[in-house]
Chains A and B, each alone.
Chain A
Amino acid sequence: MSSTVLLVGTRKGCFILESDADRRDWKLRGPYCDGWPVYHAVHDAESGAIYAAAASEWHGAGVWRSPDLGETWELSSEGFGFDEDKGLKLSKVSTLSAGHGRVLAGTEAAGVFESRDGGVTWSLVSTLDGQPNRELWNDPANQPPGHLGLSAILQHPDEASRYWVIVQGHGAFETTDDGSSWTPRNRGLRADWPIENPEVGYCVHKLVLAPDRTRMYQQNHVGMHRSDDAGQSWTEITEGLPSEFGFAAAAHPHDRDTFYVVPVDPGHGRVMHDGHASVWRTKDAGSSWQQLDKGLPHRDAHLGVLREGMAIDGYDSPGLYFGTSTGQVFASADEGDSWNEIASYLPSISSVEVAVLA
C-alpha cells in the first residue's frame, strides 16, 4: 500500500507528516533542518530526496537535503551567489522545484540556480537579464526586505527545458531553453497601479498548471486568472470569490476545470474572512465558485495561508492540504469536501508539499 508524505516548511524547521493511502491518521516527525526557517520543502520523485530551502538570520541561505525521508540532513550553499560586479546580494533561497534530473532554486535577489548533483553544489542559471525593466530590480529602493525575489518556479512536467518563474512585483516569465532566454507571460493581467511597460509590473502570487499541460491558473495580488494557452494570455475569473487577494492555489491533477484557492483579506491582516476558514473550489474553470468549509473552524479562526501553503496529491480521489500562519495543518481526503485538522501546534507554516510513495 502506498504512503502519503507531507513536507511542512515552517519558521522553525521542516516537519514531516505521514499517513497511508486512506489519509485519515497522520504521524508527525520533526523539526528538521536544525530549526532553520524553511521557506519551501519539496520531494524529488526521481531520487526520493527531500530538499528544503532555508535562510538563517545568522548563517545565511542554503538548501538542506535528506536522501532518506528526513532521517539525515546536510546543508549546502556551495555555488549560491552572484558575480561581485552585478551588485546583487543573495539573502534567501525562496523556492525549489525538482524534476528532469535536477533541482531548481529561486532566490532573493532574483535568480535561478540549479543543482545536478543532488543538492551538493549549485550554479547560477539566470538572473533574467534583458527582461523589461530588469535594470530597476537591483535598485535598493525597489528591494524592501521580503520582496522582489524570484518566488516560484513551475517546471513543465514533460519538457525539461521549459519552465515558468515568478518575480515578485514584476510578473511571470517563461523559458523554453533552460533559462537562456525568457518571455514575459503577463498579457491580460490587471494592475491597480501605474504600469510603465505593459509587459511587466504585475504582482503574480502563484501559478499552477492543469493536467492538460495547457491550462494555467493564477492567484494574483489583484484577482484570480485563467490561461487557456499556457500563460500566453490571461482572463480574470475572480467573480464569485469573497476576495480578489490570496496566495495559495492548487490545480486538480485529473480535471482541467477544477481548481482551488484560499482567498484572504488584502489588507494588513491577510487572513481568511470573518474568522471563517474556507477553501474555495471551481469545477467549471472559474465560471462559479464553491465554498468548502466542512470540518474547518467557522468562527474565531484568523488563518493565513502563504504561496506554497497548499498542496494536492495525485490519488484518484485527490487529497488537499493546507498549512497556516498559526501552525495548523488541515487535510481533506475527498477533494476538499470535508476537512480534518492533522497538526495543531507547529510554528508558522511557509509551505506544504505532498508526495505519494509506492
Chain B
Amino acid sequence: MAELHLPTTLQPLFRELPRKLDVEAATVAEAIDRLDAQWPGLRDRLCEQGPALRPHIHVYVDRERAGLDTGLDERSRVDVIAAISGG
C-alpha cells in the first residue's frame, strides 16, 4: 500500500478526509481515483481537464517529482503539495 500525504487545504472540503492514508494503487492517477471514489469531487480539486495535475498541485513519489502516470509500489510515499501560490 502506498502512503499518501495530502495538503491541509483539502480537509475543509471533504468530511473526515485524513492528512495521511494508505492506498492500494499502481499509479498516481489510480491513487487519486481511489480517493475520488471515497470522497466524490476530490479528483477535480487535484486534476484539471486532460486529465493533468493542476498547475499548482505538485506530486512527489519517494521525493521525486511525479505525474499522473508515475508508478507506485507497496512502499511508495506519495506527497501531494499545494505549491506556492496566492499571497
| Known contacts A75-B13, A76-B41, A77-B44; A57/B86 CB under 8 A | yes
| Most B CB within 10 A of own CB, among A56, A76, A84 | A56
Q: Tell whether B38 is near chain A: CB-to-CB under 8 Å.
A: no
B residues near A81, Cβ cutoff 8 Å: 49
User: Measured between alpha carbons, how far is A82 from B50 in the docked complex, in Å?
Assistant: 11
Contact of B45 among A60, A89, A90 (CB under 8 A): A60
Contact of A78 among B41, B56, B82 (CB under 8 A): B41
- Minimum CB–CB distance from A210 to chain B (whole Å) comes to 39
- Minimum CB–CB distance from B1 to chain A (whole Å) comes to 25
The residue on A at minimum CB distance from B57 is A58
**Chain A: how many interface residues by the 8 Å CB criterion?**
16
Encoded as 1 (CB less than 8 Å from any B CB) or 0, chain A from 51 to 78 comes to: 0000011111010000000000001111
**B41–A59 contact, CB under 8 A?**
no
**A59–B48 contact, CB under 8 A?**
no
Encoded as 1 (CB less than 8 Å from any A CB) or 0, chain B from 41 to 84 comes to: 10011101100001011000000000000000000000000110
**B12–A59 contact, CB under 8 A?**
no
B residues near A229, Cβ cutoff 8 Å: none
| Known contacts A34-B12, A76-B41, A77-B41; A58/B54 CB under 8 A | yes
User: Measured between alpha carbons, how far is A158 from B56 in the docked complex, in Å?
Assistant: 43
**A90–B49 contact, CB under 8 A?**
yes
**Chain B: how many interface residues by the 8 Å CB criterion?**
18
B residues near A58, Cβ cutoff 8 Å: 7, 9, 45, 54, 56-57, 82-83, 85
**A82–B49 contact, CB under 8 A?**
yes
A residues near B44, Cβ cutoff 8 Å: 59-60, 62, 77-78
A residues near B12, Cβ cutoff 8 Å: 34
B residues near A57, Cβ cutoff 8 Å: 56, 85-86
Q: Tell whether B10 is near chain A: CB-to-CB under 8 Å.
A: yes
The residue on A at minimum CB distance from B51 is A84
B residues near A62, Cβ cutoff 8 Å: 44
A residues near B83, Cβ cutoff 8 Å: 58
**A59–B49 contact, CB under 8 A?**
no
| Known contacts A57-B85, A58-B7; A84/B49 CB under 8 A | yes
- Minimum CB–CB distance from A62 to chain B (whole Å) comes to 8
The residue on A at minimum CB distance from B44 is A77
Q: Which residues of A come within 8 Å of B, CB atoms?
A: 34, 56-60, 62, 75-78, 81-82, 84, 89-90
Q: Which residues of B come within 8 Å of A, CB atoms?
A: 7, 9-10, 12-13, 41, 44-46, 48-49, 54, 56-57, 82-83, 85-86
Q: Which 3 A/B pairs are nearest by Cβ-Cβ distance?
A: A59-B45, A57-B85, A58-B82
